[in-house]
Structure 1
Amino acid sequence: MAGRQLAIWGCLGGGRERQVLEAPACTTPSESGREQEVGICAGGFGFAITRSGDGRILVRTRATEDRDGGANFFGAPSNALSLPDSEAASCCSAGYSHVVLATDKGKLYEWRASDALVHCVSAALPKVPVTMVAAGEHHSLALAGGAVWAWGAGAVGQLGQGSRISQAPSPLLVAGFGARPDESGSTAAEPPVVTEIAAGALHSALITDDGKLFTFGWGLYGQCGHDSTEDVLSPCCVADLHGVPVRQVAAGLWHTACLTLDGAVYTWGGNADGQLGTGLPTGASTPQLVEALPFEEDVVKISCGARHTVALTGGGKVFSWGWNKYGQLGHPACPAHQLPEEVRGLGIVQDVACGWWHTLLQYSGCEPDGATGTK
């Protein structure tokens, strides 16, 4: 196939019949040039999200059967999220049952699978554009001006407010980050500036401009990385990374992964399905180096599903590990992979992102090999 294409493997979940794509399945191209998909946002339970060239967010909910009855193509978008005509999405993220997005007008919106409607969360954050959003199971984060805002469920500390707020309907500032000018307009004693955020099911993570990683929220499986299984109510720096700056972080249901500036991947948290990629039968409450990734491969992105993890290299290769009941790793049927394994036959992959039980990728060079589906 010429140009960039989208493919998926795994299961979207939802419904009585769970449609499983054990090998990468190509997406059905949209007939409308306006809906040409240029970016992926992965998805949650029962849906996947992509972004069009004109800033629209497209929802895909199921695969499409071919003439032989095989689910070989991931169907065309069922709908686009309805935004005001004057606004386009600048960034978006998919959680378990909702999508959070920011527009070029500075507004925050949420789409909820429960009613399939778009709700305005905030007319605007104070005088700064939103540059990144992250969606968890029932909470969301937004990054604006180096500061972080959080809303939604917060009973285990995932909003970073220092307390167990059951629900925050509108964004709350996570204290201690982002330049805050005083009344004279100068910036005295500026706090750390946040450059990236991530939301797991019930925990959150952020990276500051000096490469430090902070986590907060549910800690039962050690997913906050502080050598403890206690909940963390306020952002706390992950100390056991040997002083190496972090450039990217991803979070799943029970685990967390980060990519350091020198290209190393660390994981921690629950490991019942091998999602840490360490080859060990137990989880970890402090960061563990994923040593099984080929040393010569330069990892440029990581992504976490509910219980699986994916790494993308600079050369366009994809490695995956963890839970594989629904084929979300892109490997032949097996319940789980304890160590990273390359997903072959993909062409050159430009981007990859994990949904709850599925993986979505953008590729070029050739059509995925053996793209067949099973039910």
Structure 2
Amino acid sequence: RDPCRVRQGANSYGQLAQGHVEDLSEPRLPDAAALKDGALRSLSGGGGHTAAVTENGELFVCGQNHRGQLGLGHNADLSTLQLCHSLNQRVTKVVCGWDFTLLLNDCGRILACGSNAYGQLGVGQHITHSADLLVIESLEEPVVSVAAGLRHSLAVTDSGCVYQWGRGLFSHAKRALSPRSVPSHLSSPVPSLVPGLDQKTSRMVTAGLAHCVCLTGDGDLFLWGSNKRGQLTATEPFLSSPTLVKRSLLGNEKVINVWSGWTHIVAQTESGRVFTWGRGDYGQLGRQASTSQNSKWPSTDPSGEGRNQEACLPAEVKVLRGATQIACGSEHNLAIVDGCLLSWGWNEHGMCGDGSQSDVFQPQLVSGLSPLLIGCGAGHSMAMCAAKN
């Protein structure tokens, strides 16, 4: 069966590859003739753009391109998928920040394009944005994992070291740490070694709006950055260095995979259990918070905004147990469980695919699809599905 690809959600810049800019609240096949019958290996979306990598290492892009985030050498938006012809190397992974894109090639080098207003491309401060793909030269060791937050980036090298760049966390850190100085890894325009992980061998990273997540080879989870929504399972408003999440909060099990939205985190343990925590008012945690749970967390965060006490603590979403894939948008999520596609969370633009714009508070089935690969943008969703016979 040949794979098909579907899109739903926000489409203001053509990021759904439909040839128009109208939102879609139900899954629909894109105008993707350029892809032919090629299978995909990586899907990602940003604030208004989409990127897909095929099994043979080609990059296809569409959507918003005002900062050159499509890597096509120009700044015109596209409402259909287009091959990046200038790419002369095989790509294995793509991740999208708000208005920038990072690619990992099969040699472990990172290529970057789009906005560099916050140093998020990792190429120094002399470039404000680039429509051409730039190699992050200062990362000489091969990279095995790469992540893009709203305005900051992370990478893990082959030896297990973690690097961070971009000033997306700087203002949060400055407010929380004053009068102390902000550590260099939180404000660097080039990759800076993250301290506090030197005794660990890191395996993968992911990132949120203003926080960072690292998973080690031992199955330990480390978090740092903004804790405004309790996403770091801590009481401090900001953590400047990686802080271990106690295994007792995650069923006393090792973590094998982790994903992040803007202000919430999803983790899967070795037995297949899936835990969520952080911001949950759009339903992005996939669970109704229990009012009977005893919580030691403060009821308000330092900004004075209300913080759901229970949401700060990881809790299992049982319907997601055994999920083979999970993807997080800014405030919504997709998962593949038992070959079925589930969605939940923020749904203002219809990105949960149920035909409505009402937020979804528990994972629900997106009917009629057999998903093979999933991905999310800030407000849109993508899936490669098995075609019906």
TM-score, normalization: structure 1?
0.80
Q: Is 1:352–2:354 an aligned residue pair? A: no
1:166 Cα deviation from its structure 2 partner: 6.0
1:124 Cα deviation from its structure 2 partner: 5.3
Which residue of the partner structure matches residue 172 of structure 1? 192
1:28 Cα deviation from its structure 2 partner: 2.5
Tell me: CA distance 1:18–1:157, structure 2 relative to 1, closer, same or farther (3 Å): farther
Root mean square deviation of aligned Cα: 2.8
Tell me: CA distance 1:212–1:162, structure 2 relative to 1, closer, same or farther (3 Å): farther
Q: Is 1:280–2:289 an aligned residue pair? A: yes
CA contact (8 A) 1:202 1:218 kept: yes
Which residue of the partner structure matches residue 265 of structure 1? 274
Residue 275 of structure 2 aligns with an amino acid whose one-letter code is: Y
Which residue of the partner structure matches residue 227 of structure 2? 219
1:37 Cα deviation from its structure 2 partner: 4.9
Aligned pairs for 1:57-68 (under 5 A) are: 57-61=59-63
CA contact (8 A) 1:40 1:361 kept: no
Tell me: CA distance 1:118–1:351, structure 2 relative to 1, closer, same or farther (3 Å): same
How many Å separate the matches in 1 of 2:218 and 2:186?
Answer: 32
Encode CA deviations 1:326-350: one digit per residue, 9 max, x unaligned.
111111204201111111110x211
Which runs of no fewer than 5 residues in structure 1 stay unpaired?
63-73, 179-190, 368-375
Aligned pairs for 1:156-235 (under 5 A) are: 156=172, 163=183, 167-177=187-197, 191-226=199-234, 228=235, 230-235=237-242
How many Å separate the matches in 2 of 1:27 and 1:37?
Answer: 15
Tell me: CA distance 1:288–1:243, structure 2 relative to 1, closer, same or farther (3 Å): same
Deviates more, 1:279-288 or 1:92-101: 279-288
1:230 Cα deviation from its structure 2 partner: 1.1
How many Å separate the matches in 2 of 1:18 and 1:163?
Answer: 42
How many Å separate the matches in 2 of 1:89 and 1:40?
Answer: 9
Which residue of the partner structure matches residue 347 of structure 2? 324
Which residue of the partner structure matches residue 66 of structure 1? none
How many Å separate the matches in 1 of 2:27 and 2:105?
Answer: 31
Encode CA deviations 1:47-66: one digit per residue, 9 max, x unaligned.
1110134323221228xxxx
Match of 1:141 among 139, 150, 154: 154
CA contact (8 A) 1:13 1:357 kept: no
Match of 2:243 among 224, 227, 236: 236
Tell me: CA distance 1:98–1:31, structure 2 relative to 1, closer, same or farther (3 Å): closer
Aligned pairs for 1:16-165 (under 5 A) are: 19-31=22-34, 36-61=38-63, 76-80=80-84, 82-83=86-87, 85=88, 87-112=89-114, 117-123=131-137, 125-126=139-140, 128-145=141-158, 146-153=160-167, 154-155=169-170, 156=172, 163=183
Please identify which structure carries the higher helix content: 2
CA contact (8 A) 2:34 2:83 kept: no
1:236 Cα deviation from its structure 2 partner: 0.5
Identity %: 27
Encode CA deviations 1:79-105: one digit per residue, 9 max, x unaligned.
52733x3x3223221111111112234
Which residue of the partner structure matches residue 335 of structure 2? 311
Encode CA deviations 1:196-253: one digit per residue, 9 max, x unaligned.
2111111110111111111111110011122x25111111111122321111111111
TM-score, normalization: structure 2?
0.77
Kindly report structure 1 stretches of 4+ aligned residues shifted beyond 6 Å.
Answer: none
CA contact (8 A) 1:164 1:233 kept: no
Residue 372 of structure 2 aligns with an amino acid whose one-letter code is: Q
How many Å separate the matches in 1 of 2:367 and 2:357?
Answer: 16
Equivalent residues, number: 330
CA contact (8 A) 2:164 2:186 kept: no
